[in-house]
C-alpha cells in the first residue's frame, strides 16, 4: 500500500476510532469526552464516484463495508454513505462538506519540460500548444503532437469547471481536434490516461482524480507532473448518509483528526493547509469563484459544438 493511501481512518470491528473529543451515538446522545468510539453498523454501504475510488476502497476495507459506485442521480438508501462533490449530490440534502479539491493539470512528467519551453503551463498554454508538434518544442518527433484529455462537462461539476476554464480562455472549434482522450467523467478520464498513455499528453480534472492514479502511473507509464490554473476553481467534497450509523461516520470525517489526514488521501481540508500530500501535488493558484449556474447550459453546448458527444 502506498504512503498516500495508508493512514486513512482507524476503523475496526464495526467502530470508528476517534481522538479525544465528543462523539455521538445513533440516538444523538453525546458520549463522554473520554470515549473514542463511534458505533458503526457493519451493513453500511460506501458509494463514491470513480474519481474517489481509491479513497472509498480503502475506507470500505477498513470498515468492512460493501463498496459501490455513485453517479449523479443514483439512489441513496438508508444504509448508504455517499462521498461526492457537493454539487453532484441532490439538492436539499443535509450534507457535510469535509474536503476540497482544486481543478488541476496533469502532464506526463517527461514531457512537461518541453511543454514549458513553449509556455508556462496553464490553460492558455494548452490551448496555444494543442496540436503543435513536440519536435517544435524540443521533444522527440516520436511523441507526435500535443494532445489533451477532458471529460464530459454534463456529467459532473469538476468536469464542468475544467471545461469552463477552456471556454473562458477563448478555446475555439479547432481545440476539439486535439482532445484525443474523452471520457464520460473524470474518474474514467484519469484511469484511461494510465491505460492508454499514448492517447493524451495532458488532462485537466480535479486534483483528487489525478491523485487517485499517481501510483498506477508510476507502475505503468511514468510519473505525472501536476500544475494548477491561476486562478482556478475548487470543488467542495461532501459526505451524506441517511441512517444514523452512516451519519455518525459522516460527522467523523469532519473532525479535526480526520481533517489532518485528508492530504494523504489526495484531498484538502475545508480550512487550513493540507499535510502529507503526495510528492507530485503542489500549491494551487488563487481560488476562482464557482461557475455561474446560468452559464452551465451554454458551457455544455460549447462542449458539444467543440468536442462532440
Q: Establish if 3 belongs to a structural domain.
A: no
The DSSP call for residue 195 is H
Are residues 290 and 184 both part of a single domain? yes
Q: Which residues contact 279 (CB under 8 A, 6 or more apart)?
A: none
Distance, in Å, from the CA atom of 118 to the CA atom of 63, rounded to the nearest integer, reads 48
DSSP for 26-89 reads: TT-PEEPTT--EEE--TT-EEEE-GGGHHHHHHHHHHHT-EEEE--TT----TTEEEEEEGGGS
Are residues 89 and 139 both part of a single domain? no
C-alpha cell at 119: 509556455
Are residues 34 and 143 both part of a single domain? no
pLDDT of residue 298: 95
Are residues 203 and 95 both part of a single domain? no
Q: How many domains does the chain have?
A: 2
Q: Which residue has the cell 441517511?
A: 242
Are residues 54 and 81 both part of a single domain? yes
* Inter-residue contact 34 to 71 (CB < 8 Å): no
pLDDT of residue 309: 60
Residue 237, SS3?
A: strand
Q: Establish if 6 belongs to a structural domain.
A: no
Angle at alpha carbon of residue 236, lines to 280 and 122, rounded to 5°: 45
Are residues 207 and 265 both part of a single domain? no
pLDDT of residue 1: 41
Q: Establish if 163 belongs to a structural domain.
A: yes
The partner residues of 232 in beta bridges, in order of sequence, read 287
Are residues 189 and 301 both part of a single domain? yes
Are residues 188 and 255 both part of a single domain? no
CATH of the domain at 112: 3.40.190.10
Q: Establish if 5 belongs to a structural domain.
A: no
Q: Establish if 4 belongs to a structural domain.
A: no
Are residues 205 and 159 both part of a single domain? yes
Q: Establish if 290 belongs to a structural domain.
A: yes
The DSSP element (H or E) to which 107 belongs, if any, is: strand 96-108
Distance, in Å, from the CA atom of 95 to the CA atom of 90, rounded to the nearest integer, reads 10
Distance, in Å, from the CA atom of 162 to the CA atom of 190, rounded to the nearest integer, reads 13
Q: Give the closest residue to 307 by CA, choosing from 147, 190, 71, 85.
A: 147
pLDDT of residue 82: 93
Q: Which domain holds residue 224?
A: 101-232+282-306
Can the peptide bond before residue 174 be classed as cis, meaning omega within 30 degrees of 0? no
Angle at alpha carbon of residue 210, lines to 303 and 207, rounded to 5°: 80
pLDDT of residue 190: 97
The pLDDT averaged over each successive group of 10 residues in the chain (309 residues) is 34 29 29 35 80 81 80 86 94 92 97 92 96 95 97 95 96 93 96 95 97 92 94 95 80 83 89 90 94 92 89
Q: Establish if 136 belongs to a structural domain.
A: yes
C-alpha cell at 218: 508510476
pLDDT of residue 8: 31
Distance, in Å, from the CA atom of 75 to the CA atom of 187, rounded to the nearest integer, reads 20
DSSP for 114-178 reads: HHHHHS-SSHHHHHHHTT-BGGGGTS-GGG-B--EEEE-TTS-HHHHHHHHHHHHTT--GGGGGG
Amino acid at each position: 500500500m502506498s504512503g498516500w493511501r495508508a493512514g486513512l481512518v482507524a476503523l475496526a470491528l464495526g467502530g470508528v476510532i476517534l481522538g479525544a473529543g465528543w462523539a455521538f451515538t445513533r440516538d444523538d446522545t453525546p458520549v463522554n469526552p473520554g470515549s473514542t468510539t463511534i458505533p458503526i453498523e457493519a451493513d453500511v454501504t460506501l458509494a463514491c464516484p470513480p474519481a474517489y475510488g481509491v479513497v472509498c476502497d480503502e475506507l470500505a476495507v477498513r470498515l468492512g463495508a460493501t463498496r459501490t459506485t455513485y453517479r449523479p442521480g443514483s439512489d441513496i438508501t438508508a444504509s448508504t454513505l455517499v462521498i461526492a462533490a457537493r454539487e453532484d449530490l441532490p439538492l436539499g440534502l443535509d450534507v457535510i462538506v469535509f474536503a476540497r479539491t482544486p481543478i488541476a493539470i496533469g502532464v506526463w512528467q517527461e514531457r512537461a519540460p518541453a511543454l514549458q519551453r513553449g509556455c508556462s503551463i496553464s490553460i492558455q498554454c494548452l490551448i496555444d500548444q494543442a496540436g503543435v508538434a513536440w519536435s517544435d518544442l524540443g521533444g522527440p518527433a516520436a511523441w507526435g503532437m500535443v494532445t489533451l484529455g477532458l471529460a464530459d462537462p454534463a456529467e459532473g461539476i469538476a468536469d464542468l469547471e475544467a471545461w469552463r476554464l477552456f471556454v473562458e480562455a477563448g478555446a475555439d472549434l479547432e481545440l476539439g481536434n486535439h482532445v484525443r482522450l474523452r471520457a464520460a467523467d473524470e474518474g474514467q478520464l484519469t484511469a484511461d490516461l494510465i491505460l492508454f498513455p499514448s492517447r493524451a499528453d495532458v488532462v485537466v480534472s480535479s486534483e483528487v482524480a489525478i491523485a487517485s492514479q499517481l501510483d498506477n502511473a508510476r507502475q505503468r507509464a511514468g510519473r505525472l507532473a501536476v500544475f494548477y490554473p491561476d486562478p482556478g476553481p475548487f470543488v467542495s467534497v461532501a459526505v451524506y448518509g441517511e441512517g444514523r450509523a452512516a451519519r455518525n461516520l459522516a460527522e467523523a470525517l469532519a473532525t479535526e483528526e480526520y481533517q489532518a489526514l485528508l492530504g494523504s488521501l489526495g484531498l484538502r481540508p475545508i480550512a487550513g493547509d493540507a499535510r502529507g500530500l503526495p510528492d507530485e501535488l503542489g500549491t494551487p493558484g488563487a481560488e476562482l469563484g464557482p461557475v455561474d449556474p446560468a452559464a452551465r447550459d451554454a458551457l455544455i453546448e460549447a462542449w458539444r459544438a467543440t468536442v462532440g458527444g
